[in-house]
Amino acid sequence: MRQTRKFALVTGAGSGIGRAAALALLQAGYRVALVGRRSQALEATASAASDPGLALVLPADVTQPAEVAALFERVRLEFGRLDLLFNNAGMGAPALPIDELSFDQWQAVVDVNLTGSFLCAQAAFKLMKSQSPRGGRIINNGSISAHAPRPNSAPYTATKHAITGLTKSLSLDGRAFDIACGQLDIGNALTEMAMPMTRGVPQAHGEIAIEATMDVDHAASAVLYMAGLPLSANVQFMTVMATNMPFVGRG
């Protein structure tokens, strides 16, 4: 089974897009390492799988280099290899004018969204280079905010723009080692984080408006499609979003 089974690691797997993606991968037969800070939430994801035995619950803080190193060493020992990393863990700051944000609020978003993605990608890269057969795939969760900001979202928007640079660098540097890297930009998938969209959120012109949302399973299906490609093919960037959300055009 180890010769045919695929092995994945999903960060932020305890809720939202991470949980949906992890469950889709488990349903497709992957063994999946479920990573996040809250072990109870990760256990809930595992228990929701059709075959919970395929899930490996690994609580970890992706902002801490030592914890990330231990995490990937555990994956190497348990799985023997890693075929897919879905770099999904993320957070936002309060929607405040930039001059009212504290440094700690800025730093927390940078630590999770950017540094955490870097540390996990670095560890995955090292493992994928050395394993046999060599190679693997990294999918970064970029967000619509990798393209266009919402009002008062400097920390989140800055880190998501940075994820695009990280994706391009990994994609280039991975070529020599059969490591493919792509980015999935998701818009208004209906998770707990997106619930405010259904009640009304600030728009660029200053008004409050309800925004269209989509089922989070569409985002999970996109992850599954990207993951299923042979390493000779790569989705460099994909956007999956609610059709009527205010992104394309002028709102």
The tens digit of pLDDT for each residue in 67-97 reads 999 999 999 999 999 999 999 999 999 999 9
pTM of the predicted model over 0.75:
yes
pLDDT interval class at 250 (50, 70, 90): low
Calculate mean pLDDT across residues 107-135: 98
The predicted structure's pLDDT at residue 73 = 98
Active site residues: 156
Q: How far apart are CA 126 and CA 195, in angstroms?
A: 38
Going along the chain, which residue ranges are E strands?
7-11, 31-36, 55-59, 84-87, 136-141, 179-187, 201-202, 208-209, 237-241
CB atoms under 10 Å from CB of 239, counted, come to: 17
Calculate mean pLDDT across residues 1-25: 90
> Domain locations in the chain?
7-241
DSSP 8-state secondary structure symbol assigned to residue 189: B
Indicate if the pLDDT at residue 206 is higher than 90. no
pLDDT interval class at 5 (50, 70, 90): confident
Percent of the chain with pLDDT strictly greater than 70? 98
Q: How far is CA 195 from the centre of its chain?
A: 19
The predicted structure's pLDDT at residue 1 = 38
Domain 7-241 CATH superfamily = NAD(P)-binding Rossmann-like Domain (3.40.50.720)
pLDDT interval class at 251 (50, 70, 90): low
Look up residue 186 and give its amino acid: I
Q: What is the CA radius of gyration of the chain?
A: 18
Residues 160-205: tens digit of each pLDDT: 999 999 999 999 999 999 999 999 999 999 998 888 889 999 998 8
**Tokens encoding 108:** 């927390």
27-31, 84-88, 99-103, 242-246, range with the lowest pLDDT? 242-246
- Average model confidence (pLDDT) across the chain: 95
